[in-house]
Structure formats: structure tokens, C-alpha cells
């Protein structure tokens, strides 16, 4: 009998061990299946949210007859983002109405509204933070070569085709508040999810939203030539031919991006701020065309390169006054940052002609020379 009891006991142990192992495998498989389903759901949700952003862009375009851009005051003060302009078209009209558009996005009066986490701006597929310093963040940001401050772009300007031009894309690092203007990025920096790049944090690539509302997966190893073609709206590239060319040996690199955007801004008869581009070599600007009183010209200088831009000095001929607006002194512009230099005659009655020079550390344009009349 003792031998039978010991045998029965050993059999019970074996059954319990086998049963426990089967249960463990079952639970592991169930958990893996649940994780896979949740991952697929999150990726589907991320796609849907990008498409809703695309729909909102077109709705805003229908209302304003142009795509929204990050807004700045006439003195260069950062006001509001593209995402803010999309709120009314994302069922966020009540929140949008609480924002004081005349004050900067981070003004105390706007703190309550900008603290909200907006579902359409959140990418559930990447687990990124939904707040930063108390403000809701955006995991989808705009194409810096399409959405340019003080520049109007509408459907008719998309010469390369809406299905071939990028509008928004996923980011994996460096998330910023959705209300902050100027968070757009250059697609030519890559799709590996870095601080200044598009793409998910795993470095494998990411989805981008095209202007026509389609969402396309772009792999991290995509050729810079193709990325450059996707980012421009009037570059004249044929995407299919560019993709074919990029797969051939000795592919030429894309043309380098300019580092500086230069022009002057003024209020038009509709009280909108217009941008007039300037050249870098002895361009001529007129105080009187801007119709500002007292006479003045507001020169916009923006860093559209990928590195820091240093302004090493400003000089003007006698009788011309210069003043940096929105900052007492501008000596360093980070990527996408802009500054406005107010140039004005000291005595409008006697002024006839003058000269202004902006010096930078950009090897292509170390001196920006302007003749003023």
C-alpha cells in the first residue's frame, strides 16, 4: 500500500506539472494574441487619425482658400500652430473658441485650452508622451517645405500633384505641444524617428499623410532623392521616375536646401500679412510700398536649414535705423526659427536712399545686402 500511495503521489505531481505547463503556454499565447490585436488596433487608429487631419486640412482650405500655416504677429512673435487652425474641423469648436488668437499660444489666458490632449494629434501606435510642461502634445507634424510662415499655398500651387506631396507625418522623438507654432520638420532629414526627423521611435520608418488624404508607409532606408521629391509641392519631380532613378547605381544626391529665407512682410488692403521674397545680392526695397506709418520695412529672416544659423552683425548707412523685433538682440536662430528686423528712416522727410547689411555665418550668404529707398 505505501508503494501504491507513493506512485499515486508521483502521478499527481506529474499531472500538476503538465497541467501547469499547458496553462502557462495557454496564457502566454493568449497574452501574445491580445498584444498583437491591440497593436493592430493602435496602428489602425493612428492611420484613421492621420486621415482625419487630412480631411481637416481640406475643410480649412475650403473656408480660407489656402492651407493653414504657423502664425506669427507682425512683429515676429510666435502665436499659433497649424494644429490650432484645424481644431474647428476636428469637433473641437468649443475648445477653439476659448483660445485668444491675439495672444501667444503659451500666454496664461490660453493655458487651460492648450493643456488639453487632442485625440487626433496622438499616435497610439508609438507610446509617446501626451503632455509636455503641462501642454498637450502632437505626434503628427507638418511638412516644413509646404507649410511656411507668411506664405500662402493653396491647391492650385501643388504643381507636383496632391498624391505626390507630403502634408503631415508621424514623429518618434522630440514631441512638442500641439499649440506651439513652428514644429514642422524637413522630410529630407530622414524617416528614422530622430529628434529632427519623421518616423516612429523604433527607427524603421513611419506613415506620412499626402495632400490628397492618402496615408503611405515610408521605410527608414528610403532614398534621400525620393524624400526630397515627396516634400516639395512645386519641384517638378515625377515620383515614379525618382524612385526608379534612386535604385540605380551612383544616384545623384538631392539639391541642397537653402539655409535662409529672406523677404519683407507688410499688411495688404485686406489687413492680411503678405510676404515678398528678396534676393541676397543688393536687392532693393522701398519704405513707401509697404504703406506703413511712420515709414518702415519689416525684413523677415528665417532659418530654413537643418543647423543653427548665427547672425553676426547688422549695419546700416547714416539716416537708417534698425531694430530687431520680438527680441532685443538676435544672434542665433535654431532650425525653423525666424526673426524680423525693422528698418526705418530716421527722418522720413529728408530720406532719399540708404543701405542695410545683415551678416551671417552661412557660407553661401555671409552678407545679405539691401538697398533702401
Per-residue pLDDT at 4 exceeds 50: no
Compute the average pLDDT of residues 146-175. 92
Question: In sequence order, which residues have a C-beta less than 8 Å from that of residue 94 and are 6 or more positions away?
Answer: none
What DSSP element (H or E) covers 75?
A: none
For residue 117, give the nearest of 32, 49, 25, 18 by alpha carbon.
49
Residue 328 or 143, more confident: 143
Neighbours of 70 (CB within 10 A): 26
Q: Structure pTM?
A: 0.81
Q: According to the per-residue pLDDT averaged within each range, which of 25-29, 92-96, 150-154, 317-321 is highest?
A: 92-96
3-state helix, strand, coil in the chain (%, to 5): 30, 25, 45
| Burial zone of 189 (CB within 10 Å; 0-12 exposed, 13-18 middle, 19+ buried) | buried
> Could you confirm whether domain 260-372 is CATH 3.40.50?
no
The pLDDT value recorded for residue 353 is: 84
184-218 per-position pLDDT tens digit: 999 989 999 998 899 999 999 999 999 999 999 99
The pLDDT value recorded for residue 29 is: 53
Per-residue pLDDT at 30 exceeds 60: no
246-289 per-position pLDDT tens digit: 665 555 655 566 678 888 888 777 777 778 887 766 567 777 66
Distance of CA 54 to the CA centre of its chain: 14
The pLDDT value recorded for residue 330 is: 80
Does a cis peptide bond (omega within 30 degrees of 0) precede residue 294?
A: yes
Dig out the grid coordinates for 192 from the structure.
Answer: 528614422
Give, in order, the Cα–Cα distances in Å from 71 to each of 33, 53, 150, 227: 46, 18, 7, 26
Phi, psi for 149 (deg, rounded to 5): -55, 140
For the chain, give every residue range classified as CATH 2.60.40. Answer: 260-372
Going by pLDDT thresholds of 50, 70 and 90, the confidence category of residue 372 is confident
- Spell out where the chain has E strands: 71-72, 78-80, 131-132, 135-138, 140-142, 166-170, 176-177, 205-210, 215-219, 260-267, 273-277, 283-285, 297-303, 309-316, 320-325, 332-333, 338-345, 354-360, 367-372
Distance CA 127, CA 363 (A): 40
Q: What is the mean pLDDT of the chain?
A: 84
Supply angle C-alpha 48, 122, 91, rounded to 5. Answer: 65
Distance CA 125, CA 48 (A): 12
Per-residue pLDDT at 240 exceeds 80: no
For residue 185, give the nearest of 362, 334, 340, 361 by alpha carbon.
334
65-120 per-position pLDDT tens digit: 999 999 998 888 899 999 999 999 999 999 999 999 999 999 999 999 999 999 99
Phi, psi for 208 (deg, rounded to 5): -125, 145
Residue 142, beta-bridge partner list:
168
Between 15-19, 22-26, 32-36, 224-228, the lowest mean confidence (pLDDT) is in 15-19
Amino acid at each position: 500500500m505505501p508503494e501504491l500511495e507513493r506512485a499515486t503521489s508521483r502521478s499527481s505531481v506529474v499531472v500538476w506539472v503538465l497541467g501547469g505547463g499547458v496553462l502557462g503556454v495557454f496564457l502566454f499565447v493568449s497574452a501574445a494574441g491580445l498584444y498583437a490585436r491591440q497593436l493592430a488596433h493602435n496602428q489602425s487608429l493612428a492611420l484613421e487619425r492621420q486621415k482625419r487631419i487630412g480631411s481637416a486640412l481640406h475643410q480649412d482650405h475650403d473656408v480660407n482658400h489656402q492651407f493653414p500655416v504657423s502664425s506669427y504677429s507682425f512683429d515676429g512673435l510666435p502665436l499659433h500652430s497649424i494644429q490650432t487652425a484645424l481644431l474647428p474641423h476636428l469637433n473641437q469648436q468649443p475648445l477653439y473658441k476659448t483660445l485668444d488668437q491675439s495672444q501667444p499660444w503659451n500666454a496664461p489666458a490660453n493655458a487651460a485650452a492648450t493643456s488639453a490632449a487632442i485625440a487626433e494629434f496622438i499616435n497610439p501606435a508609438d507610446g509617446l508622451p501626451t503632455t509636455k510642461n503641462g501642454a498637450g502634445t502632437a505626434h503628427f507634424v507638418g511638412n516644413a517645405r509646404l507649410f511656411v510662415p507668411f506664405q500662402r499655398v493653396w491647391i492650385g500651387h501643388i504643381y507636383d500633384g496632391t498624391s505626390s506631396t507630403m502634408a503631415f507625418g508621424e514623429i518618434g522623438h522630440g514631441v512638442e505641444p500641439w499649440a506651439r507654432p513652428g514644429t514642422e520638420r524637413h522630410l529630407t532629414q530622414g524617416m528614422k524617428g530622430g529628434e529632427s526627423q519623421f518616423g516612429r521611435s523604433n527607427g524603421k520608418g513611419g506613415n506620412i499623410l499626402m495632400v490628397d488624404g492618402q496615408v503611405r508607409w515610408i521605410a527608414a532606408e528610403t532614398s534621400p532623392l525620393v524624400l526630397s521629391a515627396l516634400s516639395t509641392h512645386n519641384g517638378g519631380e515625377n515620383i515614379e521616375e525618382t524612385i526608379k532613378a534612386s535604385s540605380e547605381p551612383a544616384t545623384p544626391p538631392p539639391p541642397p536646401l537653402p539655409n535662409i529665407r529672406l523677404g519683407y512682410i507688410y499688411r495688404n488692403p485686406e489687413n492680411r500679412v503678405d510676404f515678398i521674397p528678396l534676393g541676397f545680392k543688393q536687392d532693393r526695397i522701398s519704405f513707401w510700398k509697404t504703406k506703413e506709418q511712420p515709414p518702415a520695412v519689416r525684413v523677415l529672416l528665417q532659418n530654413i536649414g537643418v543647423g543653427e544659423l548665427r547672425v553676426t552683425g547688422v549695419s546700416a548707412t547714416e539716416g537708417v535705423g534698425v531694430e530687431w523685433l520680438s527680441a532685443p538682440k538676435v544672434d542665433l536662430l535654431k532650425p525653423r526659427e525666424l526673426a524680423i528686423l525693422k528698418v526705418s528712416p530716421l527722418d522720413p522727410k529728408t530720406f532719399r536712399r540708404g543701405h542695410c547689411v545683415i551678416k551671417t555665418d552661412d557660407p553661401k550668404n555671409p552678407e545679405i545686402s539691401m538697398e533702401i529707398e
